[in-house]
Structure 1
């Protein structure tokens, strides 16, 4: 028996969609990418931090890996064990949008200069 994803749909901030899809926050870009790339939109909780990053919570590692494969190369992804709930392991795919040149942009900080004057983030990209 798999985890009942409807448990994520109890908050007034979470939207409920068909097939056990629950979303919170900014979700349209990543849902479109998943749909176009053939990922079956079912049994998933999507937490969209903004248009460029977020987390997909899924009931199995294989679904999390499949979601990551569907998002690549447009997004940088990382699959990890999200936690255990009611005796079931839940897996997550974190994603961050990539720029056309393949670099991962900072989704929150666009420019950052340290006190010593060294700029470490410029135009959303880490300066090396």
Structure 2
């Protein structure tokens, strides 16, 4: 039996949508992408600050893999076992928006220079 995603609903900052879909943050663009790409919008918890990065919490590994497939190539994704809750596995698909050249931008830090003077992030991009 899969984890009941409705247990994520009801929080102060959580918005509940039809079909047991819950979101935390301004994530309607991500829901639209999933919908347009054919991912069934039911039984999920979408967590993030904005549509640039976040996680989709899902009750099964196959749904997490399908969510990742729906977001690629616009987003870099990673599917993983998030943990166990109430004796059931809970899976997550982490996503980070890609820019047109395929790289991902830092969602929070736009510029970072180390003490030795090396700039490791410039304009949201990791420097190599």
What's the TM-score, normalizing by structure 2? 0.97
1:70-109 → structure 2 map (5 Å cutoff): 70-109=70-109
Instruction: Please give the per-residue CA displacement for 1:3-51, whole angstroms capped at 9, x wherever unaligned.
Output: 2111100211111110010000121221111011010000000002222
Query: What is the root-mean-square deviation in Å for CA atoms of aligned residues?
Result: 0.8
CA distance in 1, matches of 2:108, 2:55: 15
Aligned length: 128
1:13-52 → structure 2 map (5 Å cutoff): 13-52=13-52
Match in the other structure for 2:7? 7
What SS is found at the alignment partner of 2:45?
A: strand
Q: List alignment gaps of at least 5 residues for structure 2.
A: none
What's the TM-score, normalizing by structure 1? 0.97
Match in the other structure for 1:111? 111
Q: List alignment gaps of at least 5 residues for structure 1.
A: none
Q: Measure how far apart 1:116 and its partner are.
A: 1.1
What SS is found at the alignment partner of 2:8?
A: helix
CA distance in 2, matches of 1:127, 1:3: 40
CA distance in 2, matches of 1:64, 1:16: 20
CA distance in 1, matches of 2:117, 2:36: 44
Moved more, 59-68 or 108-117: 108-117
Runs of 4+ in 1 over 4 A off after TM superposition: none
